[in-house]
Amino acid sequence: MDIDKVRQLSDPELEAALREAKQDLWGARFALSTRQLKDYSTIPQTRRTIARILTVQRERGARPAGATEITR
């Protein structure tokens, strides 16, 4: 998913896309560890998708799921 498509999503859709991408990454890592993964490029692609979603959430000021505020 490219950045333009990510920016078009609403906040709830971003949350759902982030959840789905994290599940995809977990599944790909599991398949890699059991030697069932054929296309290794899915892992970095999924990581980039997660980074794009988190970037857009931070740009909008929406807090990603499970994030805590850092105070100094």
Please provide the DSSP assignment of 6-68 as one string: HHTS-HHHHHHHHHHHHHHHHHHHHHHHTT----TTHHHHHHHHHHHHHHHHHHHTPPPTT--
Query: Has residue 71 been placed in a domain?
Result: no
Return the SS3 of 2. coil
Query: Has residue 70 been placed in a domain?
Result: no
Query: Has residue 18 been placed in a domain?
Result: yes
The model's pLDDT over 34-56, given as tens digits with 9 standing for 90+, comes to 999 888 899 999 999 999 999 99
The total of structural domains in the chain comes to: 1
Predicted confidence at residue 64, as pLDDT, reads: 57
- Record the pTM: 0.80
Domain ranges, residue 9: 3-59
CATH number where 50 lies = 1.10.287.310
Q: Using CA atoms, how far apart are residues 22 and 68, in angstroms rounded to an integer?
A: 18
Q: Using CA atoms, how far apart are residues 30 and 26, in angstroms rounded to an integer?
A: 6
The model's pLDDT over 12-37, given as tens digits with 9 standing for 90+, comes to 999 999 999 999 999 999 999 999 98
Query: Has residue 24 been placed in a domain?
Result: yes
